[in-house]
Structure 1
Amino acid sequence: MTRVLVVEDDPQLVRALVINMQARRYGVDAAPDGATALRLAAARQPDVVILDLGLPDMDGVDVLRALRGWSRVPVLVLSARRSSGEKVAALDAGADDYITKPFSMDELLARLRAAVRRTEDITPSAGTTRVVTADFTIDLLAKKVVRGGTDVRLTPTEWQLLEILVIHPGRLVTQKHLLQEVWGVSQRNKTNYLRVYMAQLRRKLESDPSHPRYLITEPGMGYRFEG
């Protein structure tokens, strides 16, 4: 059973989310504040987290940063904050998706299913289970990146983007393909998502993120990985 942790302080919304998700056979835990959320995340090991940003004890972005200190669980932000700056801040902190209130329950459930799919294995092409560069090593089977002898912490979305590029070395992967594979058909025009996540990957992997050696942008078209 897929376990979902709902972090939200509105009891009516929590009840609606729990009813809808349990009807679809998800296991659901709920936390009304950030401290409870972090405690439950450690104890219950959810498969997906749905996170409100306006919590009574701390900002949801701080909860997200704390969670990312030890977990790669997919996090869907569910917030009334609609500005692009707020969205980028949440994505930079490690969110995998951002849904604004008010929202469609069907859309939320579709995003939830997409987040679950992103954690499933992608079968690597023959001969590409391990990629070694001068700066880092990628183990596709172990879903692990090591740079300078230290594990690199990647969010599930960062990992999936990297994995798609790495299993097609030297080949252009279009923006449309990446968006559809990672976020689903409904997000094929959200190129700003790609820019945010590729910038995060470069900061974590490239020696000089402003002049990338491995994660190359093909302007207006997409990205490619040069090993």
Structure 2
Amino acid sequence: MDTKILIVDDEALLVKGLKYSLEQDGYDIDTAFDGNEALEKAQNTKYELIILDLMLPGIDGLEVCQKIRENSQVPIIMLTAKGEDINKILGLEYGADDYLTKPFNILELKARIKAILRRANTKSTKLGEQIIQVDNFTINTLGRKVTIDGRDVNLTAKEFDLLLLLASNPGKVFTREELLEIIWGYEYFGDLRTVDVHIRRLREKIEKDSGQAEYILTKWGVGYYFRKK
């Protein structure tokens, strides 16, 4: 079955060009031109990835992203015509997995799509590694679910990948550069704050007090690590 991708953008020519180019690579492409249409399609159709423009008529891309994140971990690549760093980080704050600033190279977009889908499809693990239990929360590696005291924790795909990597290597310190390379799979042009944003969001979701982290710890001047059991 072809990989199904939703493209959401109000620029008809851009959507037409992306749809044609990605279909040539064998992807099954669906399109939406405003936020309401995007939410309706995301709710009624299972997509492997969503390419979402920041500036949309009606409901903007950030709100669409936030609403999708309420019940789905589908990977989201945010497109933005704005170059300010704050807008890129804000897109990640609302649950986007990645972003590209317009104008962008279609080959770069395709490379990022492949990297995200490759990680999403790499779910097979050894039987004994299906469950990671840490105190009162459980990481289900096959189902890609996290629960705390039996309550589901809604993580984005990137947040889950980060947590799984760190929890699978307790005590090992990863630099932000290493985390970018391992989790994102390509050069991020020095924007190391991407890692910081995701770590902070993870702490807010799994720590009792995100300001006094018990699990995801900081090695000052080096990087991040998961506490040893």
TM-score, normalization by structure 1: 0.94
| Structure 1 range deviating more: 113-122 or 59-68 | 113-122
Q: How many residues align?
A: 227
Question: Which residue identity lines up with residue 190 of structure 1 in the other structure?
Answer: D
Alignment of 1:222 onto 2:209: no
Residue-by-residue CA offset, 1:86-120 (whole Å, 9 max, x unaligned): 11211011000011011111111111111212212
Structure 1 residue aligned with 2:185: 184
Structure 2 residue aligned with 1:84: 85
| Structure 1 range deviating more: 174-183 or 208-217 | 174-183
Question: Which residue identity lines up with residue 95 of structure 1 in the other structure?
Answer: A
| Contact 1:135–1:206 (CA under 8 A) maintained in structure 2 | no
| Contact 2:123–2:142 (CA under 8 A) maintained in structure 1 | no
Identity of aligned residues (%): 37
Unpaired stretches in structure 1, ≥5 consecutive residues: none
Question: Which residue identity lines up with residue 118 of structure 2 in the other structure?
Answer: R
Unpaired stretches in structure 2, ≥5 consecutive residues: none
| Structure 1 range deviating more: 117-126 or 25-34 | 117-126
| Structure 1 range deviating more: 84-93 or 2-11 | 84-93
| Contact 2:159–2:198 (CA under 8 A) maintained in structure 1 | yes
CA RMSD of aligned residues (A): 1.6
1:118-197 to 2 correspondences below 5 Å: 118-124=119-125, 127-187=128-188, 189-197=190-198
- Alpha-carbon distance in structure 2 between the residues aligned to 1:30 and 1:220: 44
| Contact 1:80–1:101 (CA under 8 A) maintained in structure 2 | yes
- 1:189: Cα distance to partner? 3.0
- 1:126: Cα distance to partner? 7.1
Question: Which residue identity lines up with residue 121 of structure 1 in the other structure?
Answer: T
**Structure 1 residue runs of 4+, over 6 Å off?**
none
Residue-by-residue CA offset, 1:52-72 (whole Å, 9 max, x unaligned): 011111111000011001110
Distance 1:127 1:219, change over 3 A: farther
Question: Which residue identity lines up with residue 149 of structure 1 in the other structure?
Answer: G
- 1:121: Cα distance to partner? 2.4
Structure 1 residue aligned with 2:60: 59
Alignment of 1:15 onto 2:25: no
- 1:190: Cα distance to partner? 2.7
> Secondary structure at the residue paired with 1:81?
coil
- Alpha-carbon distance in structure 1 between the residues aligned to 2:126 and 2:79: 36
Structure 1 residue aligned with 2:4: 3
Structure 2 residue aligned with 1:106: 107
- Alpha-carbon distance in structure 1 between the residues aligned to 2:142 and 2:51: 27
TM-score, normalization by structure 2: 0.93
- Alpha-carbon distance in structure 2 between the residues aligned to 1:128 and 1:172: 21
